[in-house]
Amino acid sequence: MVVAEHVPVLLERVLELFAPALSDRPAVLVDATVGLGGHSDALLSAHPQLRVIALDRDPNALEKSAERLAAHGDRVEFVHAVYDRLPEVLAERGLSQVDGVLFDLGVSSMQLDRAERGFAYARDAPLDMRMDPTTGPTAAEVLNTYPPGELVRILRDYGEERFAQRIVKAVVAEREREPFERSERLVKLLYDAVPAASRRTGGHPAKRTFQALRIEVNGELEVLRRAIPAALQALAHGGRIVVESYQSLEDRIVKQGFAELAKSRTPPGLPVELPGHGPQLKLLTRGAEKADETETEHNPRAASVRLRAAERIREGT
């Protein structure tokens, strides 16, 4: 299997979905999670009149994407911000609407590749997991200070971990002996706490706990619940939104946000659509689209992607 490094997921599909909203006109797109800039690079190259506002909470990602996108000059503006600050970012630039918004959610290739960030359970590293390493609690602080009941909730809700109670019992006993600092010790605890039968069939025993801790540390789901409605509100008529999610909890939030604006609010049984009660969104994907086998072979990160897209329409059209 050939593994490509930092390859944008579903790039051709993203370009195809945005083309009607960005082609042959001055347009503004918000890349809400610019990462290493792969999607933005391709969009800027495809649309010479496009301007991109590139957000990321990770200063290292902004630095790397600025290097990659330097050839596009002042057509790109970089903003250190979490994506739920989208309304504020646009207001500061005198913008009320944009033509496109892109979200590529989850942990980036760069964050996984840098062992010191603590996202990957395959290598020993400090238990950090902050997407913005300049602020907020670390994963170690969560493990060492949260009440047991809260830890159980996090593992169940954010990691969908069946053995949350067993894991937390072991964590509490261990942290009383010595606070957690590095990932290797946690991975060993998880390996011992998860039953052997589940280890054989359920993937790596650390995967779900690491996901849960990362989501908690970064407030990912709460941020997304605020960000999706804000992004939809910011779309101009004919503007498009594309969201790539990598786990079911994110995808559910996106699906629900889209569905709310894609349905009619006219009471059932009326023969005509009431003014101001029609759908505000047109869904551009049937359910969530996945990467094909060819892409996942060349880019393993694409294996779990779920892509949804929608277009802002005038009510009743």
Rounded-to-integer distance, Cα 204 and Cα 189, Å: 13
Residues in the chain: 317
Note the Cα 89 to chain centre separation in Å. Answer: 18
Answer for the pair 174, 180: CB distance below 8 angstroms, yes or no: yes
- 38 assigned binding-site residue: yes
| Residue 51 β-bridge partners | 28
Residue 39 assigned to a binding site: yes
Residue 132, annotated as binding a ligand: no
CA distance 147 to 144: 9
CA within 13 Å, CB half, 239: 21
Return the sign of the alpha-carbon dihedral for residues 231, 68, 19, 294. negative
Q: Is 272 left (phi over 0), alpha (psi -120 to 50) or beta?
A: beta
Taking alpha carbons only, the member of 262, 246, 263, 247 closest to residue 302 is: 246
**269 marked among binding-site residues:** no
Query: What b/e string do you get for 151-169 counting C-beta neighbours within 10 Å, with b at 16 or more?
Result: bbbbbbebbebebbebbbe
Q: End-to-end CA distance of the chain, in Å?
A: 47
Q: Any bridge partners for residue 56, and if so which?
A: 80
The annotation status of 111 as a binding-site residue, yes or no, is yes
> Residue 221 CA to chain centroid, in angstroms?
9
Q: Report the binding-site residues for S-adenosyl-L-methionine.
A: 37-39, 56, 83, 104, 111
Binding-site annotation, residues: 37-39, 56, 83, 104, 111
